[in-house]
């Protein structure tokens, strides 16, 4: 492979992983707050740097499958919790409701570290960072062009992470009920994808299967929102509690 081919291939392959990393960090930070999210991301990045420096090409021996299973299961648990809350709030208040909820109402500590945000951000950065490192090792070793592969991965990280930071302001303007629904859908999708991969099952279409999972969870959320609204409307129209119904 020519140096330009190695750069482009590494950039594109790493970009997929960076997009997933940025989505997790921006989503968690927008819902839970940025301080603990940044701390988790920094901790994950620090451990990643130590692992890469210590192991080098031996990174291929890291049990990435087991890590995917653990991280995916964790994301799925939290994602489904946030998805449930988002469904409940959107069904009751619409997509623009609940826009000014306080941190304490969300279970976010006023002081100290929010460990939910820290752990989710930490694990997302560590897992995706390891996958990027494996991409660099694989392409760099195959083409005997480690500097070019590293440059391609770093370029992908800078470009997409920069775009994520620019989009942070837009994401924070999304009403909290809709944001929690969106982030819950994304975390549930990533969690399902990684947990199943960790079990050794290959997804049809590889990473493109995440889009199908997002669609599946979005359809399920829309169904339950409609179901809850129908139940609420039925309860309000019931004659029980109507003083005229007893006459």
Convert the pLDDT of each residue in 109-145 to its tens digit.
666 788 889 998 998 898 888 888 888 887 777 667 7
pLDDT average, residue stretch 55-79: 79
Q: What's the whole-model pTM score? A: 0.70
pLDDT at residue 100 is higher than 70: no
At 111 the three-state DSSP class reads coil
Nearest partner of 106 among 176, 36, 160, judged by Cα: 176
For residue 234, the Cα-to-chain-centroid distance in whole angstroms is 36
Summarize the confidence of residues 176-191 as an average pLDDT: 86
Q: What is the mean pLDDT of the chain?
A: 81
**Which letter does DSSP use for residue 203 in this model?**
P
- Examine the pLDDT at 98 and tell me if it is beyond 60: no
- pLDDT tier at 60 (50, 70, 90 boundaries)? low
What's residue 106's pLDDT? 54
- Token duo for residue 226: 């409609």
Higher pLDDT, 220 or 65: 220
In this predicted structure, the answer to whether residue 59 has a pLDDT above a threshold of 80 is no
Instruction: Give pLDDT, residue 138.
Output: 77
Query: What pLDDT, on the 0 to 100 scale, is given for residue 218?
Result: 94
* Number of alpha carbons in the 13 Å side-chain half-sphere of residue 19: 12
The answer to whether 214 and 186 are in contact (CB under 8 A) is yes
Stretch 65-71: mean pLDDT? 83
Q: State in Å, rounded, how far the first CA of the chain is from the last one.
A: 86
């Amino acid at each position: 492979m020519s140096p330009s081919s190695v750069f482009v291939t590494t950039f594109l392959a790493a970009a997929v992983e960076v997009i997933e990393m940025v989505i997790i960090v921006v989503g968690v930070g927008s819902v839970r707050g940025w301080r603990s999210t940044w701390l988790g991301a920094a901790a994950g990045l620090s451990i990643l740097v130590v692992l890469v420096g210590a192991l080098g090409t031996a990174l291929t021996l890291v049990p990435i499958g087991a890590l995917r299973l653990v991280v995916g299961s964790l994301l799925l648990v939290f994602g489904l919790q946030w998805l449930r809350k988002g469904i409940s709030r959107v069904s009751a208040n619409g997509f623009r409701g609940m826009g000014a909820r306080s941190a304490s109402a969300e279970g976010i500590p006023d002081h100290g570290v929010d460990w939910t945000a820290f752990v989710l951000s930490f694990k997302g950065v560590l897992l995706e960072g390891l996958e990027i490192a494996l991409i660099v090792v694989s392409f760099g070793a195959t083409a005997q062009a480690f500097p070019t592969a590293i440059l391609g991965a770093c370029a992908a990280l800078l470009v997409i992470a920069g775009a994520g930071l620019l989009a942070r302001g837009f994401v924070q303007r999304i009403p909290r009920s809709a944001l929690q629904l969106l982030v819950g859908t994304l975390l549930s999708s990533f969690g399902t994808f990684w947990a199943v991969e960790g079990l050794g099952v290959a997804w049809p279409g590889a990473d493109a299967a995440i889009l199908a999972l997002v669609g599946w969870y979005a359809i399920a959320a829309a169904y339950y929102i409609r179901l809850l609204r129908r139940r609420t409307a039925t309860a309000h129209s019931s004659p029980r509690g109507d003083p005229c119904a007893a006459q």
